Amino acid sequence: MSFREITIKEIGAATSFTRTSIYNYFETKEEIFLALLQKEYELWVASMKAVMAEKAVMTRDEVAQTLAYTLTERPRLLRLLSMNLFDMEANSRPECLAEFKVAFGRSLDTVSCMVETYIPEMDEENRKQFLYAFFPFIYGIYPYTSVTEKQKLAMEQAGIPYVYQSAYDITYTCLKKLLEVKAG
């Protein structure tokens, strides 16, 4: 189902929670999706931190590989990011939004820490530019890597050749370019 079609009733039917019990925790479906997105960011941060705990040194290429790998381990994160975050945030209570923003902030801080640790020659301004180029990019990974047959047909009819790239490939390629430009 598309995000617009999903209701709290459908969420209750797909889980062990009744519609009433869902309302004990969430006021809107957007809050549910925001909580899922928050959890996915937390899992991504944990994955990045685990790698950083294991490796004292990484090259730029290894940083790009690690970020690409840890991000593509989170397909639900990529899919949720491709949904309408604007509506999720607009239809959530401020306290739910703040909890989500804490998790989002941790992901920004963790990626920044990884770059600062392994690419120390990148100054703070370039690191900030890297973050604000990379994070908007990740919102578009899923639609480019999960194309339906209908979309492929439409592209064919429009004369646009479809070239499949995995989430890892598209992310790694982008990261290599961003890290070359920003660190070099």
Residue 114 lies inside a defined structural domain of this protein? yes
What's this model's pTM, rounded to 2 decimal places? 0.84
Rounded Cα gap, residues 94 and 34, in angstroms: 12
Residue 17 lies inside a defined structural domain of this protein? no
**Tokens matching residue 110:** 């963790």
pLDDT band at 22 (very low <50, low <70, confident <90, very high): confident
4 secondary structure, DSSP code: T
pLDDT value at residue 27 = 82
**Tokens matching residue 103:** 């998790």
pLDDT value at residue 181 = 60
Instruction: Return the closest-CA partner of residue 36 out of 77, 85, 84, 82.
Output: 77
Residue 10 lies inside a defined structural domain of this protein? no
pLDDT tens figures, 105-163: 999 999 999 999 999 999 999 999 999 999 999 999 998 898 889 999 999 999 998 88
**Tokens matching residue 131:** 């973050």
Specify whether the CB–CB gap between 172 and 162 falls below 8 A. no
Specify whether the CB–CB gap between 78 and 43 falls below 8 A. no
Please report, for the domain that includes residue 85, its CATH number: 1.10.357.10
Average pLDDT, the chain: 89
Rounded Cα gap, residues 92 and 29, in angstroms: 9
Specify whether the CB–CB gap between 82 and 145 falls below 8 A. no
Q: Looking at the predicted structure, is the pLDDT value of residue 52 above 80?
A: yes
Range of the domain at 131: 29-183
Mean pLDDT (whole number) for 7-28: 73
pLDDT value at residue 32 = 84
Structural domain count of the chain: 1
Q: Looking at the predicted structure, is the pLDDT value of residue 2 above 80?
A: no
Higher pLDDT, 12 or 60: 60
Q: Is 183 left (phi over 0), alpha (psi -120 to 50) or beta?
A: alpha
